[in-house]
A = this chain, B = another copy of it.
Amino acid sequence: MSWGVEHLPYGVFSRHEGETPRVGVRYGEHVVDLAGALHDEVFATGSLNAFMARGSAAWRDTRAVLQNKLRTDPGAVEAHLVPLDQVRLHLPFEVADYVDFYCSLEHASNLGRMFRPNEEPLKPNWRHLPVGYHGRAGTVVVSGTPVVRPSGQRGAGVFGPSAKLDIEAELGFVVGAPTTLGERAGRFADHVFGVTLVNDWSARDIQAWEYVPLGPFLGKSFATSVSPWITPLDALSEARVPGVAQDPEPLDYLRRDEPWGLDLTLEIALNGDVVSRPPYRGMYWTPDQMLAHMTVNGASLRTGDLYASGTISGADPDQRGSLIELTWNGTEPLKLPDGSSRSFLEDGDTITITATAPGPNGTLLTLGEVTGTILPAR
């Protein structure tokens, strides 16, 4: 099953209003209450951060102990199982800094063609480094949180609700083990705790007007949604693949020492209809390269840092990870099965992003979904 002993993603849940949220892992249609099952109060602290700060050896040990219990003595865990439909899921970690990269060659090329039609689609730096920027950590919300359509400037003297509200389907990486200021990060798996699906909601009209020369700001900062479940890296061992070939060869600090490409396939559904299936494995820059780049200048990592891949777009039109690409900036609207069409999101629309990956022993892992519904502008 998708949520069996080979997966065990981490989340934070509460059983009733007012309870301090607790850390659990999803197991089938239940949540294992870890503070109870493992007799460890680090899981009763309201977020994953304290546990993640313990480092990769502790992550591995905890997973091994729990897998062993579930396999050999499930009865001992039974008292700590809570039915999924009886819990509320919370943002699973306190987000320290949020960085968004731009790692899909197809996505960067598509946006370059649309936003800067008279130039080379890729900027000269793109193949030399994973381009990234900081987003707003305080507006990272858990899947299910409604998204209010943002208002803002859409041109000189033009103000109002965004008319080009969009999505970006991404994969996010959650940092567990920090570094010291002035030092570079070490091995990817020693710092990164796990992965989560990300929808980086984007108001394209606000973004297009504001983003020169300092980058996206209000076009992105109103909300970024993440899955309630963080899949630990160890659950993705069967999904690891080499990254795609890179030309020119990256500088030493960006050299890939281990295969951290990931064979995940995402699925984007708009009001229940699948509109795209972006493949993660074709991304140009891999997550270990993003981590090396982010810290090469001595910038420190904190527990809870989140960095995301940028929109995942494949080479085929039905593999694009944003509406601006799927509809070519609204010029080729999507036809939906109900007869309606979409250039960008309408009020009431629900976007759900899911993903699958090969799991251990021939299983197929389903990552925790990230979903959100658009509310009208205020």
Measuring CB to CB, which residues of chain A are less than 8 angstroms from any residue of chain B? 96-97, 99, 102, 112, 115-116, 123-125, 128-129, 131-139, 141, 145, 148, 150-153, 156-157, 159, 181-183, 203, 206, 209-219, 221-223, 248, 251-253, 293-294, 296-302, 305, 375, 378
Contacts and interface: CB of A to CB of B under 8 A. Distances in A.
Contact of A157 (B128, B139, B305): B128
24 contacts: A97-B137, A112-B213, A115-B213, A116-B213, A124-B156, A125-B212, A128-B157, A131-B214, A133-B214, A134-B221, A138-B302, A139-B181, A141-B181, A148-B182, A151-B297, A152-B296, A152-B297, A156-B248, A182-B375, A211-B214, A212-B213, A213-B215, A221-B299, A222-B298
A202 B156 CA distance: 30
A280 to B, nearest CB: 20
Contacts of A213: 112, 115-116, 123, 131, 211-212, 215
A20 to B, nearest CB: 18
Contact of A305 (B125, B138, B145, B209): B138
B139 A300 contact: yes
A19 to B, nearest CB: 22
B123 A378 contact: no
Contacts of A252: 159
A302 B221 CA distance: 13
Contacts of A136: 97, 134, 299
Contacts of A137: 96-97, 137
A27 B125 CA distance: 51
Given A152-B297, A182-B378, A217 B251 contact: no
A202 to B, nearest CB: 11
A325 to B, nearest CB: 16
Nearest to A124: B156
A301 B138 contact: yes
Contacts of A133: 133-134, 214-217
Contact of A139 (B141, B219, B299, B378): B299
Nearest to A161: B297
